[in-house]
Structure 1
Amino acid sequence: MKKIFSLLFVCLLLVVACEEDYEHTPITIDGEAPAGVENVQFTPVYGGFRITYDLPKDSDLLYVKAVYNNSKGEQVETRSSGYTNKIEILGFGDTEEKTITLIAVDRSENASKPVSFTGNPLTPPVKIIEQNLAITQDFGGAKFHWVNEEKTPISISLFAENDKKELEEVRTIYTSQSETSFSLRGYESVEQKFAAVIRDRYDNFSDTIYPATPNKMIIPLFEERLDKKQFKKLILANDTNWDAWEGDYTNFYDDDMKSIVHTQGDRPNPQIFSIDLGVVVKLSRFTLYQRLSHGSLHAYTHGNPKKYTVYGAKELPADPENLENWILLRECESIKPSGLPIGQNTDEDIDHLNAGDEYTFDEAPEIRYFRLAVHETWDGAGYINASEITFWGNIIN
Structure 2
Amino acid sequence: MKIINKYSLLLFMSLVMISMFSCKRNDGFSNTPVSTDKTKPGIITNVKVENFNGGANIIYDLPNSDNILYVLAKYSIRDKVSRETKSSYYKDTVVVNGFAQSQDYQVTLYVVSRAEVMSDPVTVTVHPGTPVYELVRPTATIAPDFGGVNVKALNPLKKNVGIIVTAFSDVTKAMEVEEQHFTNADTIDFSIRGFSTDARDFGVYVTDEWGNISDTLKANLNPLYEELLDKSKFFTYTLASDDALYEGGGWTVDKLWDGLLTDPGWHTNSNSTPPFTCTFGVGKTYKLSRFNIWGRKGYEYGHGNPRDFSFWGSNKDQPADAVLPVTAAVGTVIGDWTNMGNFSWPPPPSGLPPTSPNQSDKDFFNLGVGFNIPFNAPSVKYIRLSVARTWEGGTLCHVLELSFYGKPE
Q: TM-score, normalised by structure 2?
A: 0.78
Residue 228 (structure 2) aligns with? 225
In 2: Cα distance, 1:148 partner to 1:345 partner: 30
In 2: Cα distance, 1:351 partner to 1:86 partner: 43
CA contact (8 A) 1:175 1:348 kept: no
Which amino acid letter does the alignment assign opposite residue 395 of structure 1?
P
CA contact (8 A) 2:322 2:337 kept: no
Structure 1 unaligned blocks of 5 or more: 1-23, 211-215
Which amino acid letter does the alignment assign opposite residue 316 of structure 2?
K
Which amino acid letter does the alignment assign opposite residue 252 of structure 1?
L
Shift of 1:354: 4.4
Residue 205 (structure 2) aligns with? 197
Residue 150 (structure 1) aligns with? 157
CA contact (8 A) 1:51 1:87 kept: yes
Which amino acid letter does the alignment assign opposite residue 311 of structure 1?
G
Which amino acid letter does the alignment assign opposite residue 122 of structure 1?
G
- Which deviates the most, 50-59 or 320-329? 320-329
Note closer, same or farther for the CA distance 1:138–1:261 as it changes in structure 2 (3 Å cut).
Answer: same
In 1: Cα distance, 2:125 partner to 2:357 partner: 42
CA contact (8 A) 1:286 1:389 kept: no
In 2: Cα distance, 1:114 partner to 1:351 partner: 54
Residue 310 (structure 2) aligns with? 308
Note closer, same or farther for the CA distance 1:304–1:88 as it changes in structure 2 (3 Å cut).
Answer: same
In 2: Cα distance, 1:342 partner to 1:265 partner: 25
Note closer, same or farther for the CA distance 1:331–1:155 as it changes in structure 2 (3 Å cut).
Answer: closer
1:326-341 aligned within 5 A:
326-334=336-344, 336=346
CA contact (8 A) 2:167 2:177 kept: yes
Give a deviation string over 1:263-310, Cα, whole Å, max 9, x none: 33311122111112122x13233324252635xx72488631404351
In 2: Cα distance, 1:224 partner to 1:25 partner: 62
In 2: Cα distance, 1:301 partner to 1:272 partner: 17
Note closer, same or farther for the CA distance 1:359–1:81 as it changes in structure 2 (3 Å cut).
Answer: same
Does residue 381 of structure 2 align to residue 374 of structure 1?
A: no
Does residue 278 of structure 2 align to residue 277 of structure 1?
A: no
Note closer, same or farther for the CA distance 1:286–1:75 as it changes in structure 2 (3 Å cut).
Answer: closer
In 2: Cα distance, 1:351 partner to 1:39 partner: 55
In 2: Cα distance, 1:177 partner to 1:301 partner: 29
Of 169, 176, 182, the match for 2:177: 169
Which amino acid letter does the alignment assign opposite residue 395 of structure 2?
G
CA contact (8 A) 1:290 1:356 kept: no
CA contact (8 A) 2:141 2:152 kept: yes
Shift of 1:196: 2.1
- How many aligned residue pairs are there? 363
Residue 293 (structure 1) aligns with? 297
Shift of 1:60: 2.4
Which amino acid letter does the alignment assign opposite residue 88 of structure 1?
V
In 2: Cα distance, 1:207 partner to 1:345 partner: 40
CA contact (8 A) 1:226 1:391 kept: yes
CA contact (8 A) 1:63 1:104 kept: yes
Residue 13 (structure 1) aligns with? none
Of 180, 183, 193, the match for 1:185: 193
In 1: Cα distance, 2:303 partner to 2:60 partner: 47
Q: Secondary structure, in 3 states, of the residue corresponding to 2:206?
A: strand
Residue 19 (structure 1) aligns with? none
Q: Secondary structure, in 3 states, of the residue corresponding to 2:404?
A: strand
Residue 250 (structure 1) aligns with? 254
Q: Secondary structure, in 3 states, of the residue corresponding to 1:251?
A: helix
Q: TM-score, normalised by structure 1?
A: 0.80
Structure 2 unaligned blocks of 5 or more: 1-30, 325-333
Give a deviation string over 1:187-225, Cα, whole Å, max 9, x none: 333332221232222121122222xxxxx2122233332
CA contact (8 A) 1:226 1:393 kept: yes
Does residue 372 of structure 2 align to residue 358 of structure 1?
A: yes
Note closer, same or farther for the CA distance 1:40–1:258 as it changes in structure 2 (3 Å cut).
Answer: farther
Residue 265 (structure 1) aligns with? 270
Q: Secondary structure, in 3 states, of the residue corresponding to 1:190?
A: coil
RMSD: 3.3
Which amino acid letter does the alignment assign opposite residue 127 of structure 2?
N
In 2: Cα distance, 1:352 partner to 1:206 partner: 37
Shift of 1:357: 3.0
Q: Secondary structure, in 3 states, of the residue corresponding to 1:126?
A: helix
CA contact (8 A) 1:288 1:358 kept: no
Q: Secondary structure, in 3 states, of the residue corresponding to 1:172?
A: strand
In 1: Cα distance, 2:368 partner to 2:208 partner: 25
CA contact (8 A) 1:158 1:170 kept: yes
Of 398, 402, 405, the match for 1:385: 398
Note closer, same or farther for the CA distance 1:80–1:70 as it changes in structure 2 (3 Å cut).
Answer: same
Residue 5 (structure 1) aligns with? none
In 2: Cα distance, 1:154 partner to 1:101 partner: 28
Note closer, same or farther for the CA distance 1:363–1:264 as it changes in structure 2 (3 Å cut).
Answer: closer
Which amino acid letter does the alignment assign opposite residue 304 of structure 1?
P
Residue 20 (structure 1) aligns with? none
- Which deviates the most, 247-256 or 336-345? 336-345
